[in-house]
Amino acid sequence: MPAPQSKQPLANGRAGLAENGAEKAPGARRQNRGPSAAAENRAALVAAAREVFAADGYEAPLSAVARRAGVGQGSLYRHFPDRVSLAVAAFAENVSLLEDLAARPDSTLDECLDLLTEQAIASAAFMDMLSGHAGDPRVAPIAERVTAILARKLPGAQDAGRFGPEVRPEDLLMCIGMVSGLIAKTPDGIRRETAERAWALLRRALAP
């Protein structure tokens, strides 16, 4: 069975999954138990990818992901043949969290943008994947799901006078990418402050 996933956006998953009730240390090589270990190894790789991408960025060595998961690179490539397929799996929970928030009748566009920003602060690799590989058939559906979330909440924000009538969901996605790119170049300690200042400027530009 896969290890339980954290419910926090981009929260560090447990790279060392429990075996016989004892948690393995990150990077500890797991015993080869054949096909029965496939689901466990996949879950460990996804959790490790979240940690490695968050710490070292989207271009982090995939060998570092395998080491943190405690599996060989052969196992990594059996589950995920390339970086994009691994990133899509690692950040699937991000989109699900956004969709859950957007599905609440009382949620707002501002709350969705705040969650996207928090996810970018935790790991800019999520937005790097969306903006850098939007044409990839594996990434495109994720970008479409995020755009659909923004499209669902934008009319209410426009009716409330928060955004101008000419603003499109694609414009907001572009702004998120811009803020994410800025965050990626900002030291951890001031990322949130920097994101808030950037959004303040962007919101003035997008206001009616």
Q: What pTM was computed for the model? A: 0.73
Tens-place pLDDT, residues 96-112: 999 999 999 999 999 99
Would you call 205 exposed, middle or buried from its count of C-beta atoms within 10 A (0-12, 13-18, 19+)? exposed
**pLDDT at residue 207 above 70?**
yes
Q: How far apart are CA 86 and CA 99, in angstroms?
A: 21
Q: Pick the closest to residue 147 from 78, 197, 95, 195 (CA basis).
A: 95
Tens-place pLDDT, residues 15-50: 333 333 334 455 555 555 556 688 999 999 999 999
Q: Which two tokens mark 69? A: 């998961």
**pLDDT at residue 11 above 60?**
no
